Amino acid sequence: MHISRKRALAAWAAAAAAVTAVGVGAGQAQAASPTTKVKPKATHGPADPGPAAGERSAAKRVASPAAQAAEKAVEARIRSYVAAHGTAYTFGTYTDPSTGSVVVDTNAPASVVASLTSLKGSKASKAASAVAVHVNREATKDAYSRRDDIPAFYGGGGLYASGFLCSTGYSVQSSTGARWMVTAGHCFANGTTVSTESGARTEGVVTGRALASLGNGPIDVEFLAGQSYWGRIFTGGVTSSTSIPVVGAGTAYVGYTDYCHSGRTTGEQCGHTANSITAQVCTETGCKSPVIAYTGGVVQQGGDSGGTFYAKDSRGAWIRGHVIAGNSTTGYVEPYTQITARWAVTASTG
């Protein structure tokens, strides 16, 4: 049972005592009656007053200025290469604060990689030119492809439309209280009617799509509109009905080792380490930056795209972004800070 549904169910039962109670306690989300959720009040997500314990202290483990400069030099070359040659090869770039090196995830040929990563004799500073570049020979894919939900909709649930599976991220709202649900911009086209994964309910219509390959800047986001959305995130396995409230939102911290993501394919997975919050990832849908790069734990898989990325403590979830791409070792996340800055929305709390 959704943790937040207890109070709603109690109120409903008191008002309709003569009605036989539905089997909410033992059922999955798709078995629950719509009466077990109430429409949320239009509350406004606060500025992030204090992240989960240990998160802020991890910010001490940041990459050196030389490593950051080297990363930016490599990323600029990669953007130019992708602009000139297209998206046949993929690139994920970030600095690893534990080794001081720049990491590049790519499936490009060695000759291409060498031309993009060799900084000796370049215009980069002497210190930046001396930074090691570590190459992982691996493609990075948009994370296309839990499973059902009822209004008001939560983050971390399954979405389906046009033959694709994606996941919900987190609810945002305007200063007037209007709400939308965030997901990845590479999932569905503007105007698409998106359903829950089971197809049983409409979860919204896509609006505000912004994607690098569409000329909207180095970003990967879109919004679902037209339904009710709540500031809660699914936890547990892929068919779980448990959830936690969103209590705040803000920037991720490099070096923090227990970030989580929640999506329809892998469920809730934690133990992720943020290696960078200024990374770049270039996939078939263009180059996105700045993004969060993380390693450790179970990385998101196909269908988790759009899913929530967050830290959590005893109070609930602290939104940090939504997942957009990954490979077997590294995940890439569109930061919440980019969304709130561009659209002047805040994360809905639960």
Tell me, yes or no, whether 202 and 100 share the same domain.
yes
pLDDT of 121 reads 65
Tell me, yes or no, whether 11 and 112 share the same domain.
no
Tell me, yes or no, whether 64 and 34 share the same domain.
no
Q: What is the pTM of this model?
A: 0.78
Tell me, yes or no, whether 16 and 122 share the same domain.
no
Q: CA 153 → CA 132, 228, 339, distances in Å?
A: 45, 6, 20
pLDDT of 309 reads 98
What domain range includes position 230? 43-350
The total number of structural domains that make up the chain: 2
Tell me, yes or no, whether 119 and 32 share the same domain.
no
Tell me, yes or no, whether 110 and 249 share the same domain.
yes
Tell me, yes or no, whether 58 and 171 share the same domain.
yes
Tell me, yes or no, whether 161 and 217 share the same domain.
yes
Tell me, yes or no, whether 30 and 116 share the same domain.
no
Listed as ranges, residues in the chain with pLDDT below 70 are 1-53, 59-61, 121-124, 144-145
Tell me, yes or no, whether 288 and 329 share the same domain.
yes
Instruction: List, for residues 292-335, the tens digit of each pLDDT value.
Output: 999 999 999 999 999 999 999 999 999 999 999 999 999 999 99
Tell me, yes or no, whether 138 and 89 share the same domain.
yes
Tell me, yes or no, whether 29 and 83 share the same domain.
no
pLDDT of 52 reads 65
Instruction: List, for residues 235-273, the tens digit of each pLDDT value.
Output: 999 988 899 999 999 999 999 999 999 999 999 999 999
